[in-house]
């Protein structure tokens, strides 16, 4: 086996008597470290401050449960076919947390981080961001919401928690400036939605933009397990299957008179 | 679309101004509820007591990170081929949390829950459990460990945290009795391992046995995102690929003289 | 890197000028070997005879397309969320080809192969198989069908193709004997269904029982890609999402009067 | 359940006595239709001509097996953890057929189809394609190969099969022109590789560019099942796991003297 490059990982190791995660003895963390703090440790390599802990938990909590999403339905349908493998049903659900559902927070964070890395006045950054999206005929991510109108109720609370813990800095400010600029340019109210708030606050916490899709995946795994436990008690999958199949192939069957 | 059965889910709903999860206004939970407590709410329908919160976090934290497992390596290899889809790499990793890695805690919990549901003396239950596994030629789940010898350092701490919070009852006691009986019958030390402790404590918390595989999946999703972020900075996948391919097909190539 | 065991794979290798699959120069197979024959080569290590080719294609073709199954719907829902990753949508669909949908052909093949390996008279084998299932309160796999009644139209044709090509031997005969015995014991017609025919014929072809789930997976991957291409032109996922979410959470919203 | 849009699928339907796929009685196709032809029917809605059949099989066959790829290793590692769910191991492998491995044929087909849809002289199209990629600092897809040098042995054979069956038209010609132009501009030989040939020939067959990733997924599903069957007999996963974990965490353990 020809070696070209040494394999190296700094996350964890164990032997007969040690289990070490990110430099901490795992045993010392059991019973003293919350799940959110442990996740922060995993992702950043250090435990959070109390303020970071509160803000991190706040943004992840918002991502856990969005009701009967395509992901949740897909997980339930998968569980019907593969009851032996709950992990596969969760995985099927997570596969739908892509560009459309997991992507926007990532896109917000990237947009803000690249703008601020580029430097300049906030107003100019906001104008630049909106102009680029407009020229491309694409929506500005993190603004507006198809259901939560006129404002997304999560946004104010997320920004409030971030501010109360010292994480309302340049990214949050820029996100609000982008909202103002976009509302002006597109001549309609485009308030920051939960995704916009999460992308901005994750940036305040120092997370690289690509972590945001990962936060959505972590959070949604929790929600999907809850949906599968409910599916066990109150199944939906089989009924969805028969309804969809019946309706979608009705025109092929040539029987239109006996259905509702 | 012929309806035979009403579709019904009690987990969450939202409209323009409401987002309600398990009967709670989501906005009220932001900044006040930890990730672990929110997960408990999702899975059980209610927020945990402080004691439940500590014990729940303790058992999930232990499941997050097990180093460069097959799952972590699989996730990293998947990310190499599909960098556009972090969610797919996490999903690939979770697909390996099945009967061999996610199953044992589930098996422990089931074994304990079915024994206690059946009733009887603890000693008889323990003897019955060990006898059944022995007759089937299968190991008793939750006992012994290939690496952590003579004892799994996580077990004592998990049981300590459970006891300190009032969750050391019949399931923990039975698990210890099973360990004693198995050690006697197989004539070698078979102490309770972390999996055994988790299965017992999850049962104390009132979780149905099938939740245990879900807890492993939830926890591991966190660990897998951490591995993918590291893979971005310190890639392993490409090197693993070339080493494995070179070595495994060496005999087909007929070239044995220029390799180590 | 400590080596304990030499890694070895006999499937394929390549270098600058060679690409060799199962001992064949890939270039020689391009344009001369059908997809089905190549699949047979991959799975068995040799190209099929013309008779094997016909029979192998026949059983796999039957597994490709079963309409708007849970798998197909799950793939379409996943594609809605992750349009950047068609592979993830196919994977989500395949995750549902488990114990319930991919398992029965596997179970048939295993049941037949283990019975015949055990030896004895065909009538005794059939009686034993039915008795074991009956005692366990489980259906005999490969018999009856919820939709295709009184007989599965695929079965007779599959058995005809197998017989015409010399693959109607002990396994097919035993499957038919099991059908006769089960119909007698359960006192209702239980004809062999397509799954039963496939499990028996795969056994005639010499495939180990665990290959059968793999054949279902291979076949269904084709069908799932077709569904995703249709989803691109004629989307179903978004409509399914909104209908399911609306109906399933209606009781939580307290609004029952304004829906159909 | 509020209906906004009729669900409709034209792929397949069945009832007690009919199973119809793309307008064909499935029973009529059993024993008369090869797997490749059935796949063509699924994807296009009609059976192929003999020439289309040969060319379609040729391009898909090339995509089935690429040795111990990251996908194959990932599938094997997943199978170690979830032996109960072969479908999950195949899915894990397919999840790696994304932008890096499944994307290039798609990118080639898109590049050729968009150029030809735009119209103009072939030389101008080729020059435009190469100029755009060069300006973006990105390689021209479908050209050169890291291993198969100086030429990819599959390309000539694929083009030969395509030509012999009447599928060497504008797309193949443009792909060759792109190769000539790129070789000139980058001043080094950049011959068409197998991916370039497949993208061009799939375009000749009339496939929309996005089908190409699907063809890779279909083909690779076959290869992955073959790898998992081999893993059952000749396991690699456990050894890869222990080697990778040992080496990658060696520096954390502080033990450098007893390893190779």
Check residue A254 and give its pLDDT.
64
Average the pLDDT over D227-233 and give the result: 97
Distance in angstroms (rounded) separating the CA atoms of residues C158 and C169:
13
Distances (CA, A) of C97 to C221, C229, C257: 10, 20, 40
Q: Count CB neighbours of A234 within 10 A.
A: 13
The helix/strand/coil state of C14 is strand
Which of C67, C78, C238 would best serve as a mutation to test chain A binding (most A beta carbons within 10 A)?
A: C78
Predicted confidence (pLDDT) at residue B172 exceeds the cutoff of 60: yes
Average the pLDDT over C76-91 and give the result: 95
**CB within 8 Å: D9 and A248:** yes
Check residue C241 and give its pLDDT.
96
Buried/exposed B169-182: b ≥16 CB within 10 Å, e otherwise: eebbbbbbbbbebb
Cis peptide before A152, with omega less than 30 degrees from 0?
no
Helices (H), B136-236: 153-164, 170-185, 194-204, 211-233
Q: pLDDT, tens digit, for every residue of A212-253?
A: 999 999 999 999 999 999 999 999 999 999 999 999 999 998
Residues A60 and C49: beta-carbon distance below 8 Å: no
Distance in angstroms (rounded) separating the CA atoms of residues A78 and A59:
28
Which has the closest alpha carbon to B38: A156, A86, A63, A213? A63
What is the helix (H) or strand (E) element at residue C83, kind and residue range?
Answer: none
Which has the closest alpha carbon to D247: B239, B81, B80? B239
Q: pLDDT, tens digit, for every residue of B120-138?
A: 999 999 999 999 999 999 9
Check residue D199 and give its pLDDT.
98
Residues D239 and D248: beta-carbon distance below 8 Å: no
Distances (CA, A) of A105 to A200, A211, D99: 8, 10, 21
Residue C224, judged by CB atoms within 10 A of its CB (0-12, 13-18, 19+), counts as buried
Break chain B down into helix, strand, coil percent, rounded to 5: 60, 5, 35
Average the pLDDT over C184-194 and give the result: 96
Report the alpha-carbon angle B232-B234-B238, nearest 5: 85
Six-digit token string for A58: 């706040």
| Residue of higher predicted confidence among D16 and A121 | A121
Distances (CA, A) of C102 to C195, D86, D235: 9, 10, 23
Q: Which residues contact D195 (CB under 8 A, 6 or more apart)?
A: D104, D105, D108, D141, D142
Residues B68 and D248: beta-carbon distance below 8 Å: yes
Positive or negative, the CA dihedral C71, C77, C80, C85 is negative
Check residue B205 and give its pLDDT.
98
Contacts of the segment B149-153: beta carbons below 8 A, 24+ positions apart? B149/A16, B150/B189, B150/B191, B151/B191, B152/B191, B152/B192, B152/B193, B152/B194, B152/B197, B153/A17, B153/A18, B153/A19, B153/A27
Which has the closest alpha carbon to D194: C85, C30, C218? C30
Backbone angles phi, psi at D228, to 5 degrees: -70, -35
Average the pLDDT over D226-255 and give the result: 93
Model ipTM value: 0.95
Q: Count CB neighbours of D46 within 10 A.
A: 12
Backbone angles phi, psi at C18, to 5 degrees: -120, 145
Phi-psi region of B188 (alpha: psi -120 to 50; beta: other; left: phi over 0): beta
Which of D2, D7, D23 would best serve as a mutation to test chain A binding (most A beta carbons within 10 A)?
A: D7
Residue D119, judged by CB atoms within 10 A of its CB (0-12, 13-18, 19+), counts as exposed
Which of B78, B241, B250 would best serve as a mutation to test chain D binding (most D beta carbons within 10 A)?
A: B78
**CB within 8 Å: C244 and A68:** yes
| Chain D residues near residue A13 by CB distance under 8 angstroms | 249, 252-253
**CB within 8 Å: C83 and A99:** yes
Six-digit token string for A71: 């992901």
Token match 């070698």: residue?
B188
Rounded CA Rg of chain C: 22
Residues D231 and B70: beta-carbon distance below 8 Å: no
B27 touches chain C (CB under 8 A): no
What is the helix (H) or strand (E) element at residue D215, kind and residue range?
Answer: helix D211-233
Residues A88 and A82: beta-carbon distance below 8 Å: yes
Q: Which residues contact A260 (CB under 8 A, 6 or more apart)?
A: B1, B2, B3
| Chain C residues near residue A101 by CB distance under 8 angstroms | 81-82
CA distance D90 to chain B (A): 10
What DSSP string runs through C230-252?
HHHHS--HHHHHHHHHHHHTHHH
| Chain C residues near residue D4 by CB distance under 8 angstroms | 239, 242
Check residue A258 and give its pLDDT.
43
**CB within 8 Å: B14 and A147:** yes
Distance in angstroms (rounded) separating the CA atoms of residues B144 and B133:
15
pLDDT band, residue D2 (cuts 50/70/90):
low
Q: Count CB neighbours of B99 within 10 A.
A: 18
pLDDT band, residue B157 (cuts 50/70/90):
very high
Predicted confidence (pLDDT) at residue C257 exceeds the cutoff of 50: no
Query: In this predicted structure, which of A186-195, C2-11, D102-111 has the lowest mean pLDDT?
Result: C2-11
Q: What is the β-pairing status of strands C19-21 and C24-25?
A: antiparallel
Positive or negative, the CA dihedral A30, A35, A37, A40 is positive
A226 touches chain C (CB under 8 A): no
What is the helix (H) or strand (E) element at residue D133, kind and residue range?
Answer: helix D122-135
Which of B3, B4, B9 would best serve as a mutation to test chain C binding (most C beta carbons within 10 A)?
A: B9
In chain C, the N- to C-terminal Cα span, in Å, equals 66
Check residue C1 and give its pLDDT.
47
Nearest to C4 among D54, D225, D239 (CB): D239
Residues 91-120 of D with CB under 8 A from C: 91-92, 94-99, 102
CA distance A41 to chain D (A): 17
What is the helix (H) or strand (E) element at residue D230, kind and residue range?
Answer: helix D211-233
Predicted confidence (pLDDT) at residue A256 exceeds the cutoff of 70: no
Q: pLDDT, tens digit, for every residue of C169-182?
A: 999 999 999 999 99
Query: In this predicted structure, which of A134-143, D80-89, D251-260 has the lowest mean pLDDT?
Result: D251-260
Measure the CA dihedral C72/C76/C78/C79, to 10°.
130
Check residue D258 and give its pLDDT.
43
Predicted confidence (pLDDT) at residue B3 exceeds the cutoff of 80: no
Distance in angstroms (rounded) separating the CA atoms of residues B88 and D92:
8
Percent of chain D with pLDDT over 90: 88
Give me the residues paired with residue C14 across strands: C19
What is the helix (H) or strand (E) element at residue A13, kind and residue range?
Answer: strand A12-14
Six-digit token string for D241: 């796991």
Residue B135, judged by CB atoms within 10 A of its CB (0-12, 13-18, 19+), counts as exposed
| Chain A residues near residue C1 by CB distance under 8 angstroms | 1, 3, 7
D252 touches chain A (CB under 8 A): yes
Q: pLDDT, tens digit, for every residue of B186-244?
A: 999 999 999 999 999 999 999 999 999 999 999 999 999 999 999 999 999 999 999 99
**CB within 8 Å: B210 and A229:** yes
Mean predicted lDDT score pLDDT of chain D: 94
Q: pLDDT, tens digit, for every residue of A23-66?
A: 999 999 999 999 999 999 999 999 999 999 999 999 999 999 99
Predicted confidence (pLDDT) at residue B91 exceeds the cutoff of 60: yes
* Longest Cα–Cα distance in chain A: 72
Distance in angstroms (rounded) separating the CA atoms of residues A161 and A59:
10
* Residue of chain C whose alpha carbon sits nearest to that of A66: C245
Which has the closest alpha carbon to D109: D150, D59, D62, D38? D59
Distance in angstroms (rounded) separating the CA atoms of residues C109 and C142:
9
Average the pLDDT over D230-253 and give the result: 95
Residue B223, judged by CB atoms within 10 A of its CB (0-12, 13-18, 19+), counts as buried
Which has the closest alpha carbon to C71: C100, C102, C105, C97? C97
What DSSP string runs through C184-201?
HHTTS---B-HHHHHHHH
Residues B90 and B248: beta-carbon distance below 8 Å: no
Mean predicted lDDT score pLDDT of chain A: 94
D34 touches chain A (CB under 8 A): no
Mean predicted lDDT score pLDDT of chain C: 94
Average the pLDDT over C78-91 and give the result: 95
Which has the closest alpha carbon to D229: C213, C147, A164, A90? C213
Distances (CA, A) of B253 to C9, C16, C152: 12, 12, 49
Predicted confidence (pLDDT) at residue B259 exceeds the cutoff of 70: no
| Residue of higher predicted confidence among C124 and A145 | C124
Distance in angstroms (rounded) separating the CA atoms of residues B245 and B236:
14
């Amino acid at each position: 086996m020809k070696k070209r490059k040494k394999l190296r990982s700094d996350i964890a190791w164990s032997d007969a008597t040690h289990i070490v995660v990110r430099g901490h003895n795992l045993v010392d963390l059991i019973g003293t470290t919350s799940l959110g703090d442990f996740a922060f440790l995993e992702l950043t390599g250090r435990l959070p401050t109390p303020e970071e802990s509160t803000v991190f938990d706040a943004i992840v909590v918002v991502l856990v449960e969005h009701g009967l999403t395509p992901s949740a339905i897909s997980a339930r349908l998968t569980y019907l076919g593969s009851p032996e493998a709950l992990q596969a049903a969760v995985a099927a659900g997570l596969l739908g947390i892509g560009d459309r559902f997991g992507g926007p927070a990532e896109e917000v964070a990237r947009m803000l981080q690249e703008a601020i890395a580029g430097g300049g006045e906030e107003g100019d950054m906001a104008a630049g961001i909106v102009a680029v999206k407009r020229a491309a005929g694409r929506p500005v991510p993190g603004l507006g919401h198809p259901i939560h109108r006129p404002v997304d109720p999560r946004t104010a609370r997320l920004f409030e928690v971030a501010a109360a813990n010292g994480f309302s800095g340049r990214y949050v400010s820029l996100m609000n400036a982008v909202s103002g600029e976009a509302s002006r340019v597109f001549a309609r109210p485009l308030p920051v939605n939960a995704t916009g708030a999460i992308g901005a606050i994750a940036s305040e916490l120092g997370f690289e933009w690509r972590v945001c899709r990962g936060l959505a995946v972590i959070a949604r795994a929790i929600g999907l397990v809850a949906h599968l436990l409910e599916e066990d008690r109150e199944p939906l999958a089989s009924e969805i299957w028969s309804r969809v199949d019946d309706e979608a192939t009705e025109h092929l069957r040539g029987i239109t008179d006996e259905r509702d």
